[in-house]
């Protein structure tokens, strides 16, 4: 995933931290939503939980601002 983000943004994956961090953050958000969905015995929808997680991390994934 970091390689794909690097290609799409033009950032060098060997020197820029952002693609690897963004990939890790995105995977953690998905895993957290999945875990919460499992813990809820399906009473909450997985897509809603994952959407909530991504809403929290969206500013950190914004490649249009900040350092690479």
Average pLDDT per consecutive 10 residues, the chain (68 residues; last block may be shorter): 90 90 93 95 92 91 70
Whether 66 maps to a domain, the answer reads no
Best CA proximity match to 18, nearest among 41, 40, 36, 1: 1
The total number of structural domains that make up the chain: 1
Best CA proximity match to 53, nearest among 16, 19, 28: 28
Whether 67 maps to a domain, the answer reads no
The pLDDT value recorded for residue 67 is: 59
C-beta neighbour count of 18 within 10 angstroms: 20
Strand stretches in the chain, DSSP E: none
Whether 23 maps to a domain, the answer reads yes
- What's the pTM value of the predicted model, to 2 decimals? 0.78
Whether 6 maps to a domain, the answer reads yes
Range(s) of the domain holding residue 32: 2-61
Whether 49 maps to a domain, the answer reads yes
Residue 42 host element (H or E): none
Please work out, in degrees rounded to the nearest 5, the angle formed at the alpha carbon of residue 12 by the alpha carbons of 6 and 14: 110
């Amino acid at each position: 995933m970091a390689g794909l983000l690097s290609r799409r943004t033009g950032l060098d994956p060997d020197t820029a931290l952002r693609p690897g961090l963004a990939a890790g953050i995105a995977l953690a958000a998905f895993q957290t939503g999945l875990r919460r969905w499992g813990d809820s015995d399906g009473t909450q929808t997985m897509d809603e939980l994952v959407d909530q997680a991504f809403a929290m991390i969206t500013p950190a994934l914004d490649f249009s601002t900040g350092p690479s």
